[in-house]
């Protein structure tokens, strides 16, 4: 075992491809030839071959279950540590049989690079293509194609080129380009560590050089902070918020924002057991415990960020999804969504294209997604959640769906619609608080052909603070009252500034314009009308009554809609 | 973060998920190096507290020093310890003479089942590692056991992106494996780095030491001069002898451990 150049580095590599094309054999051979087998493993595999009267297979080094060895097939995935002089690897062996696709996905989901193994004598087959598709869906863009069993085709270049062309075409249709195509024989160990004399026409990398040419996923320390809350502990007099930092860096003293609620506070300490007690900074990948200045009510599933770079907040997003459930996915049915540490009820509100991941055929008017299918979907959650696009943040941009006791699907977030920042403006006077969305911008999206909303970062107004009365899509008068129905609070604005907060019940109609917490004017002209309006709202079973809104609110008094594109730039 | 920092952060994350999501939880504690690392990680995860009991399945055949060390550590580190033995089997004379695998099944697997039933545990934290042996290499981090403690290894649920199996029917329980991705060297390097207390049996006595602690009739020692953690690490970096080579039950039949584990063995 050589010392590695970069002992901290570890690249996660998954080995994929059609059943029987030699994935486990190639890995077994690689570990064997480089001396990385766990002590005793080779002897055990040889003994088993001897006892069962079957020829020794390098695949036995990975296929440890009796059923796997007896049937010569990988059922479940495993992970092994391996290292070259350059760096360490976690090598993930994936099964190729279609029936075990969920295990392949379990192995591949968090890999940074992949090998796609193709049997030279059989060429590209159904699962070769399906695995390639899933790799692209999972966001794995570094792929090396291994053309294995070259010994079966007399190490012929023509066969190799044929496989190369077929695979390159398919990958191109997914927007992927393989880093290299490597001919080799896993069984005989040709072109694994050393260039093979059997392949005089080939001058590309060996398997080992290919591995070292993959690049490590970029560190996420410098990205915006995301700390999904895992749990809140009160074991002693400290109230510790625990979680693992998904990206970015958190320092003691930072102002932080907690999504989806949107409240802001300050981080006071980073707690540790056994440390010096002076930890002042934590970064991506660390499991931490923090204490905060304000003891709001916190829950698992909230995401801590910095105020200027919060995650998106929404109840609707689009995603690319793969389905692993035995029962097909049905739009409208309730599932549980798990994204980072958040768990919430959801449904697939729209089924877009359903694709056969191997033939790339698109189904017309799909009603469901069957096991091993992939689809483009819109998902609506029962409550607002904090999330990111997968392209922006992997950990807060991917999710699984649970049906009953089982994880049945997984996906990555491709577009977030109607992103809202709940409670993004807060009025405060002493202990009194009122939330509002007066400064949200409504626009007609030229991409979606629908009305969307864009939200400003969190704003906090105290008595005396001026309000931004003019926006792109709103314009409020200098003097008015805000009636925040959900908080039962009123806020008085005079000469463009906050002058007072009071319970809504104490508010007397003064003849000034009245708007609700979302910036819509009340159609009231007298104390009598205001009283009647309040009574009807109080009697309504829910605030989301459209007829009530139609009767008492006017959209256009202070608000309008403008054209814009969804991109935030 | 270096490799050990990453392993530690991942294991702490797993422990916290288990504590938050699994209901009644316990940690299996065998006094050996892996369970001692587990205990250490729990202290880190929960800021000096261990918010669940440790359980020790005592076969009554353990190496006597192990038991002494167990009680000493429980006093020093302050945690709740539940010791359980399969009393009926012992009363009926169960021992390795009846056959090693039969003995393991009765005094460990069955004892464990009794414990789970008695205390109605929903989750058991176990320090197994992939590199120990074949069936463990294929494990999930959250691994379901059914009402009869069976492991349906040929049909394991998907486990991706650290979204673990936390939904399961009543009567089932989850084996939580926070050390799955560690290997033997990682364990020793971590013990060295953290200056952790560790049983003296791992160090050389008369030219021999234990590499893995188990029951005395079935656990052998390896030739070694290592008397410090650093020397153990050095020895492991160059050895070709398997970690469990001293464990007799592994040699009984090719798939002995797979069969034991399917039935509920740790
Ligand atoms: N001739 C020849 N046979 C090979 C080579 N590589 C693998 N095989 C054989 O192909 C068969 C399947 O190999 P595995 O490594 O089990 O294939 P796999 O891709 O891991 O299969 P699954 O995991 O079940 O999808 C075994 O019998 C191997 O011995 C090779 O380079 N040349
Ligand atoms: Mg295989």
Q: How many Cβ pairs closer than 8 A exist between chain A and B?
A: 159
Give domain status of residue B79, yes or no.
yes
CB contact under 8 A, B47 and A238: yes
**What was the pLDDT predicted at A25?**
96
Does the structural domain A6-213 have CATH classification 1.20.1440.230?
no
pLDDT at A148 over 90: yes
**What was the pLDDT predicted at B245?**
63
Q: Distance, CA A22 to ligand 1 centroid (Å)? A: 3
User: Which ligand is the nearest neighbour of the Cα of A95?
Assistant: 1
Structure tokens at B13: 């994350």
Give domain status of residue B190, yes or no.
no
Examine the domain organization and report whether B163 and B231 are in the same domain. no
Residue A456's pLDDT band (boundaries 50, 70, 90)? low
pLDDT at B31 over 80: yes
Examine the domain organization and report whether B52 and B27 are in the same domain. yes
User: Which ligand is the nearest neighbour of the Cα of A119?
Assistant: 1
Structure tokens at A224: 């915006």
Give domain status of residue B189, yes or no.
no
pLDDT at A3 over 60: no
Tens of pLDDT, residue by residue over A167-211, are 999 999 999 999 999 999 999 999 999 999 999 999 999 999 999
Residues 6+ apart with CB under 8 A from A197: none
Query: Which residues from B are below 8 Å from A221, CB to CB?
Result: none
By percentage, how much of chain B surpasses pLDDT 70?
A: 95
Burial (Cβ within 10 Å: 0-12, 13-18, ≥19) of residue A246: buried
Look at chain B and report how many structural domains it folds into: 2
CB contact under 8 A, B254 and A47: yes
Examine the domain organization and report whether B92 and B112 are in the same domain. yes
β-strands A514-516, A480-484: how paired?
A: parallel
Instruction: Give the CATH number of domain A313-417; options: 1.10.540.10, 2.40.30.10, 2.30.30.240, 3.90.1200.10.
Output: 2.40.30.10
**What was the pLDDT predicted at A435?**
80
Residue A2's pLDDT band (boundaries 50, 70, 90)? very low
Q: Is A21 in the pocket of ligand 1 (CB under 6 A)?
A: yes
> How close A12 comes to chain B (CA, Å)?
12
CB contact under 8 A, A231 and B16: yes
Tens of pLDDT, residue by residue over B184-204, are 999 999 999 999 989 888 999
Examine the domain organization and report whether B56 and B150 are in the same domain. yes
Examine the domain organization and report whether B222 and B255 are in the same domain. no
Nearest to A62 by CA among A50, A75, A51: A75
Residue A542's pLDDT band (boundaries 50, 70, 90)? low
Average of per-residue pLDDT values in chain A: 90
pLDDT at A497 over 70: yes
Give domain status of residue B146, yes or no.
yes
β-strands A362-363, A342-355: how paired?
A: antiparallel
Q: Where are the domains of chain A?
A: 6-213, 227-305, 313-417, 457-554
**What was the pLDDT predicted at A416?**
84
Average of per-residue pLDDT values in chain B: 89
Residue B248's pLDDT band (boundaries 50, 70, 90)? low
**What was the pLDDT predicted at A424?**
64
In this predicted structure, which of A158-172, A365-379, B14-28 has the lowest mean pLDDT? A365-379
From A75, A79, A324, residue closest to B154, measured CB to CB: A75
Q: Which residue of chain A has the CA closest to B44? A: A273
Ligand 1 atom with the smallest distance to the CA of A97 is 25
Tell me the torsion sign for CA atoms A556, A558, A561, A566: negative
* Mean pLDDT, residues A205-233 taken together: 94
Q: Quickly tell me which residue has 């008695």 as its tokens.
A: B118
Examine the domain organization and report whether B60 and B168 are in the same domain. yes
- Per the structure, the complete domain to which residue B140 belongs is given by 3-183+251-262
CB half-sphere exposure, A231, CA atoms < 13 A: 19
CB contact under 8 A, B153 and A48: no
Residue B143's pLDDT band (boundaries 50, 70, 90)? very high
**What was the pLDDT predicted at A136?**
94
Examine the domain organization and report whether B201 and B136 are in the same domain. no
Rounded Cα gap, residues B7 and B72, in angstroms: 28
Rounded Cα gap, residues B9 and A293, in angstroms: 25
Q: Distance, CA A183 to ligand 1 centroid (Å)? A: 15
Higher pLDDT, A244 or B247: A244
**What was the pLDDT predicted at A452?**
79
Ligand 1 atom with the smallest distance to the CA of A18 is 25
pLDDT at A236 over 80: yes
Higher pLDDT, A91 or A36: A91
CB contact under 8 A, A338 and B49: no
Give domain status of residue B151, yes or no.
yes
* Mean pLDDT, residues A74-83 taken together: 93
Give domain status of residue B35, yes or no.
yes
Give domain status of residue B232, yes or no.
yes
* CATH class of the structural domain A227-305: mainly beta
Examine the domain organization and report whether B155 and B80 are in the same domain. yes
Rounded Cα gap, residues A362 and A353, in angstroms: 6
Q: Which residue of chain B has the CA closest to A401? A: B163
From A8, A62, A240, residue closest to B3, measured CB to CB: A8
pLDDT at A422 over 70: no
In this predicted structure, which of A444-458, A524-538, A551-565, B229-243 has the lowest mean pLDDT? A444-458
Tens of pLDDT, residue by residue over A251-305, are 999 999 999 988 889 999 999 998 777 899 999 999 999 999 987 778 999 999 9
pLDDT at B55 over 60: yes
**What was the pLDDT predicted at B195?**
93
**What was the pLDDT predicted at B246?**
63
Query: What's the CATH number where B29 sits?
Result: 3.40.50.620
Asked if the bond preceding A209 is cis, omega within 30° of 0, the reply is no
Give domain status of residue B126, yes or no.
yes
**What was the pLDDT predicted at A453?**
76
Structure tokens at B217: 């009739």
pLDDT at A567 over 70: no
CB A403 within 8 A of CB A335: yes
- Give the containing element (helix H, strand E) for A470: none
Question: SS3 for chain B, per residue?
Answer: CCHHHHHHHHHHHHHHHHHHHCCCEEEECCCCHHHHHHHHHHHHHCCCCCCCCEEEECCCCECHHHHHHHHHHHHHHCCCEEEECCHHHHHCCCCHHHCHHHHHHHHHHHHHHHHHHHHCCCEEECCCCHHHCHHHHCCCCEEEECCCCCCCHHHCCCCECCECCCCCCCCCEEEECCCCCCCHHHHHHHHHHHCCCCCHHHCCECCEECCCCCEHHHECCEECCCCCHHHHHHHHHHCCCCHHHHEHHHHCCCCHHHHHHHCCCC
Fold matches, A6-213 and A227-305:
no
> How close B242 comes to chain A (CA, Å)?
4
Examine the domain organization and report whether B23 and B127 are in the same domain. yes
Is the complex ipTM higher than 0.85? yes
User: Which ligand is the nearest neighbour of the Cα of A54?
Assistant: 1
């Amino acid at each position: 075992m050589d010392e590695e150049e970069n002992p901290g580095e570890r690249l996660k590599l998954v080995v994929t491809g059609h059943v029987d094309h030699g994935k486990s054999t190639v890995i077994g051979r690689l570990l064997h030839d480089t001396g990385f087998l766990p002590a005793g493993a080779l002897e055990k595999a040889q003994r088993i071959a001897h006892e069962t009267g079957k020829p020794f297979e390098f695949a036995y080094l990975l296929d440890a279950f009796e059923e796997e060895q007896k049937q010569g097939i990988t059922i479940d995935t495993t992970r092994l540590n391996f290292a070259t002089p350059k760096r360490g690897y976690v090598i993930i062996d994936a099964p190729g049989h279609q029936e075990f696709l969920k295990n392949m996905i379990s192995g591949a989901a968090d890999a940074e690079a992949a090998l796609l193994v193709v049997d030279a004598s059989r060429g590209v087959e159904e699962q070769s293509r399906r695995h390639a598709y899933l790799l692209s869906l999972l966001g794995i863009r570094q792929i090396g194609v291994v053309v294995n069993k070259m010994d079966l085709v007399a190490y012929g270049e023509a066969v190799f080129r044929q496989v190369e062309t077929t695979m390159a075409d398919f990958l191109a249709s997914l927007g992927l380009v393989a880093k290299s195509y490597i001919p080799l024989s896993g069984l005989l160990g040709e072109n694994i560590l050393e260039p093979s004399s059997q392949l005089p026409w080939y001058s590309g990398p060996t398997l080992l050089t290919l591995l070292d040419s993959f690049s490590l996923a970029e560190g996420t320390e410098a990205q915006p902070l995301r700390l999904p809350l895992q749990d809140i502990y009160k074991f002693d007099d400290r109230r510790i918020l625990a979680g693992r930092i998904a990206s970015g860096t958190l320092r003691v003293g930072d102002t932080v924002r907690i999504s989806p609620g949107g409240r802001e506070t300050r981080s006071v300490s980073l707690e540790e057991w056994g440390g010096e007690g002076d930890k002042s900074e934590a970064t991506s990948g660390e499991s931490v415990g923090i204490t905060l200045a304000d003891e709001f009510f916190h829950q698992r599933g909230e995401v801590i960020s910095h105020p200027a770079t919060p995650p998106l907040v929404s109840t609707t997003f689009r995603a690319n999804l793969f389905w692993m459930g035995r029962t097909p996915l049905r739009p409208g049915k309730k599932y549980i969504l798990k994204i980072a540490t958040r768990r919430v009820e959801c449904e697939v509100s729209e089924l877009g294209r359903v694709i056969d991941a191997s033939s790339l055929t698109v189904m017309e008017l799909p009603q469901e997604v069957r096991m091993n299918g992939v689809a483009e979907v819109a998902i609506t959650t029962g409550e607002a959640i904090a999330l990111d696009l997968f392209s922006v943040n992997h950990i807060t941009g991917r999710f699984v769906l649970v049906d009953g006791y089982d994880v049945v699907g997984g996906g990555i977030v491709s577009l977030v619609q109607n992103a809202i920042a709940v409670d993004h403006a807060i009025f405060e006077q002493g202990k009194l608080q009122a939330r509002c969305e007066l400064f949200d911008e409504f626009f007609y999206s030229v991409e979606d052909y629908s009305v969307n909303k864009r939200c400003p970062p969190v704003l906090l107004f105290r008595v005396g603070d001026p309000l931004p009365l003019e926006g792109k899509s709103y314009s409020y008068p200098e003097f008015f009252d805000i009636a925040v129905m959900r908080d039962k609070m009123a806020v008085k604005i005079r000469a463009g500034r906050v002058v007072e907060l009071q319970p809504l019940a104490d508010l007397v109609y003064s003849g000034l314009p009245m708007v609700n917490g979302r910036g819509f004017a009340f159609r009231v002209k007298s104390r009598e009308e205001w009283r009647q309006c309040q009574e009807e709202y109080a009697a309504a079973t829910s605030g989301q009554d459209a007829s009530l809104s139609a009767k008492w609110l006017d959209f256009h008094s202070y608000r309008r809609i403008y054209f814009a594109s969804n991109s935030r730039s | 973060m270096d490799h050990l920092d990453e392993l530690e952060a991942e294991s702490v994350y797993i422990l916290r998920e288990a504590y938050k999501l699994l209901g009644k939880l316990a940690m299996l504690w065998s006094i050996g190096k892996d369970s001692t690392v587990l205990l250490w990680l729990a202290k880190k995860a929960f800021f000096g507290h261990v918010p669940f009991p440790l359980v020790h399945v005592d076969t009554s055949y353990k190496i006597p020093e192990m038991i002494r060390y167990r009680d000493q550590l429980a006093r020093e580190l302050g945690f709740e310890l539940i010791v359980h033995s399969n009393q009926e089997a012992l009363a009926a004379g169960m021992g390795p003479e009846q056959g090693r695998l039969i003995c393991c099944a009765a005094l460990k697997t069955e004892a464990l089942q009794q414990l789970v039933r008695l205390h109605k545990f929903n989750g058991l934290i176990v320090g197994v590692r992939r590199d120990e042996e074949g069936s463990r290499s294929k494990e999930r981090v959250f691994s379901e056991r059914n009402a009869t403690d069976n492991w349906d290894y040929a049909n394991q649920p998907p486990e991706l992106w650290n979204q673990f199996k936390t939904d399961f029917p009543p009567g089932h329980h989850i084996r939580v494996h926070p050390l799955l991705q560690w290997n033997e060297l990682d364990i020793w390097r971590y013990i060295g780095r953290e200056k952790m207390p560790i049983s003296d049996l791992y160090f050389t006595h008369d030219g021999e030491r234990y590499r893995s602690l188990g029951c005395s009739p079935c656990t052998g020692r390896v030739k070694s001069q290592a008397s410090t953690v650093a020397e153990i690490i050095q020895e492991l970096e160059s050895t070709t002898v398997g970690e469990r080579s001293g464990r007799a039950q592994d040699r009984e039949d090719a798939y002995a451990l797979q069969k034991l584990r399917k039935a509920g063995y740790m």
